Protein backbone atom coordinates (compact mmCIF):
# COMPACT_ATOMS: atom_id res chain seq x y z
CA UNK A 1 0.00 0.00 0.00
CA UNK A 2 2.85 2.38 0.84
CA UNK A 3 4.50 1.59 -2.49
CA UNK A 4 1.25 2.25 -4.36
CA UNK A 5 0.87 5.61 -2.61
CA UNK A 6 4.48 6.53 -3.40
CA UNK A 7 4.02 5.55 -7.05
CA UNK A 8 0.82 7.59 -7.24
CA UNK A 9 2.54 10.61 -5.72
CA UNK A 10 5.52 10.28 -8.08
CA UNK A 11 3.16 10.03 -11.06
CA UNK A 12 1.21 13.13 -9.97
CA UNK A 13 4.45 15.06 -9.47
CA UNK A 14 5.63 14.02 -12.93
CA UNK A 15 2.37 15.17 -14.57
CA UNK A 16 2.51 18.49 -12.69
CA UNK A 17 6.13 19.06 -13.68
CA UNK A 18 5.40 18.37 -17.34
CA UNK A 19 2.70 21.02 -17.37
CA UNK A 20 4.92 23.90 -16.32
CA UNK A 21 5.47 26.62 -18.87
CA UNK A 22 8.83 26.67 -20.59
CA UNK A 23 10.24 23.34 -19.43
CA UNK A 24 9.55 20.62 -21.93
CA UNK A 25 10.70 17.57 -19.97
CA UNK A 26 9.37 15.07 -22.51
CA UNK A 27 11.35 16.82 -25.25
CA UNK A 28 14.64 16.14 -23.44
CA UNK A 29 16.22 13.06 -24.97
CA UNK A 30 18.59 10.73 -23.17
CA UNK A 31 22.08 11.99 -23.88
CA UNK A 32 20.90 15.60 -24.24
CA UNK A 33 23.61 18.26 -24.16
CA UNK A 34 23.53 20.21 -20.93
CA UNK A 35 25.76 22.99 -19.74
CA UNK A 36 26.54 24.47 -16.37
CA UNK A 37 28.39 27.74 -16.85
CA UNK A 38 29.72 30.28 -14.39
CA UNK A 39 30.70 33.91 -14.70
CA UNK A 40 31.90 36.19 -11.91
CA UNK A 41 31.35 39.94 -11.93
CA UNK A 42 34.24 42.30 -11.40
CA UNK A 43 34.05 44.03 -8.01
CA UNK A 44 31.47 46.80 -8.23
CA UNK A 45 30.03 45.39 -11.51
CA UNK A 46 27.63 42.86 -9.96
CA UNK A 47 24.51 44.88 -10.73
CA UNK A 48 25.66 45.80 -14.25
CA UNK A 49 26.40 42.17 -15.14
CA UNK A 50 23.06 41.04 -13.67
CA UNK A 51 21.19 43.69 -15.68
CA UNK A 52 23.09 42.85 -18.87
CA UNK A 53 22.26 39.17 -18.46
CA UNK A 54 18.62 39.16 -17.33
CA UNK A 55 17.25 39.94 -20.84
CA UNK A 56 18.88 36.73 -22.09
CA UNK A 57 16.45 34.61 -20.08
CA UNK A 58 13.42 35.41 -22.24
CA UNK A 59 15.45 35.38 -25.45
CA UNK A 60 17.02 31.97 -24.83
CA UNK A 61 13.80 30.42 -23.56
CA UNK A 62 12.04 31.57 -26.74
CA UNK A 63 14.53 29.61 -28.88
CA UNK A 64 12.76 26.38 -29.90
CA UNK A 65 16.05 24.48 -29.64
CA UNK A 66 16.47 25.42 -25.97
CA UNK A 67 14.83 22.90 -23.67
CA UNK A 68 15.76 24.33 -20.24
CA UNK A 69 17.45 27.60 -19.26
CA UNK A 70 18.05 29.00 -15.79
CA UNK A 71 20.11 32.04 -14.83
CA UNK A 72 20.99 32.00 -11.14
CA UNK A 73 22.99 34.05 -8.66
CA UNK A 74 24.85 32.61 -5.71
CA UNK A 75 23.07 33.77 -2.54
CA UNK A 76 26.32 33.76 -0.57
CA UNK A 77 28.50 35.37 -3.23
CA UNK A 78 26.62 38.14 -5.06
CA UNK A 79 27.97 38.61 -8.55
CA UNK A 80 28.68 34.90 -9.03
CA UNK A 81 26.24 33.77 -11.72
CA UNK A 82 25.46 30.20 -12.75
CA UNK A 83 23.68 29.19 -15.94
CA UNK A 84 21.97 25.85 -16.41
CA UNK A 85 21.07 25.10 -20.02
CA UNK A 86 19.80 22.02 -21.85
CA UNK A 87 19.77 21.47 -25.60
CA UNK A 88 19.06 18.25 -27.49
CA UNK A 89 22.47 18.31 -29.20
CA UNK A 90 25.83 20.04 -29.12
CA UNK A 91 25.01 21.58 -32.51
CA UNK A 92 21.91 23.20 -30.97
CA UNK A 93 24.06 24.62 -28.15
CA UNK A 94 26.66 25.94 -30.61
CA UNK A 95 23.89 27.56 -32.68
CA UNK A 96 22.64 29.20 -29.47
CA UNK A 97 26.10 30.60 -28.76
CA UNK A 98 26.26 32.02 -32.29
CA UNK A 99 23.04 34.03 -31.85
CA UNK A 100 23.63 37.79 -32.13
CA UNK A 101 22.23 38.52 -28.66
CA UNK A 102 24.56 35.93 -27.09
CA UNK A 103 27.54 37.28 -29.02
CA UNK A 104 26.66 40.81 -27.89
CA UNK A 105 26.56 39.58 -24.27
CA UNK A 106 29.97 37.90 -24.68
CA UNK A 107 31.37 41.17 -26.03
CA UNK A 108 30.42 42.92 -22.76
CA UNK A 109 32.21 40.44 -20.52
CA UNK A 110 35.66 42.10 -20.59
CA UNK A 111 34.19 45.21 -18.93
CA UNK A 112 31.88 43.36 -16.52
CA UNK A 113 33.39 39.99 -15.61
CA UNK A 114 36.54 38.59 -14.11
CA UNK A 115 37.90 36.34 -16.81
CA UNK A 116 35.57 34.56 -19.15
CA UNK A 117 32.86 32.00 -18.72
CA UNK A 118 33.74 28.68 -17.10
CA UNK A 119 31.75 25.95 -18.83
CA UNK A 120 31.07 22.35 -17.90
CA UNK A 121 29.56 20.32 -20.71
CA UNK A 122 27.42 17.45 -19.45
CA UNK A 123 25.31 14.59 -20.74
CA UNK A 124 21.83 13.92 -19.35
CA UNK A 125 21.58 10.34 -18.13
CA UNK A 126 18.66 8.09 -17.20
CA UNK A 127 16.01 10.47 -18.44
CA UNK A 128 14.47 8.60 -21.40
CA UNK A 129 12.26 11.54 -22.34
CA UNK A 130 10.29 11.46 -19.08
Q: Which residues pair with 71 in a beta bridge?
A: 83
User: What are the domain boundaries of the chain?
Assistant: 22-123
Out of 3.30.70.100, 3.40.1190.20, 1.10.3720.10, 3.40.50.300, the CATH code matching 22-123 is 3.30.70.100
Per-residue confidence (pLDDT) for residue 129, from 0 to 100: 53
Task: Note the pLDDT tens digit of each residue in 22-47.
Answer: 566 787 888 899 999 999 999 999 99
Distance CA 47, CA 33 (A): 30
Dihedral of the alpha carbons of 92, 97, 101, 107, in degrees to the nearest 10 = 180
Residue 121's pLDDT is 96
* Greatest extent of the chain over all pairs of C-alpha atoms, in Å: 60
Tell me how far apart the alpha carbons of residues 22 and 83 are, in angstroms, rounded to a whole number.
16
CB neighbour list of residue 98: distance below 8 Å, 6 or more residues apart: none
> Does the pLDDT value for residue 1 go beyond 70?
no
Strands 118-123 and 80-87 turn out to be unpaired
- Model pTM? 0.78
Amino acid sequence: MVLAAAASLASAASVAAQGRDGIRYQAIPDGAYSVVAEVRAKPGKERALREATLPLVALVRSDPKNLVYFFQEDRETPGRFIFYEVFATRADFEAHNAMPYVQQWFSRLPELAEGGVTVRRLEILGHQGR
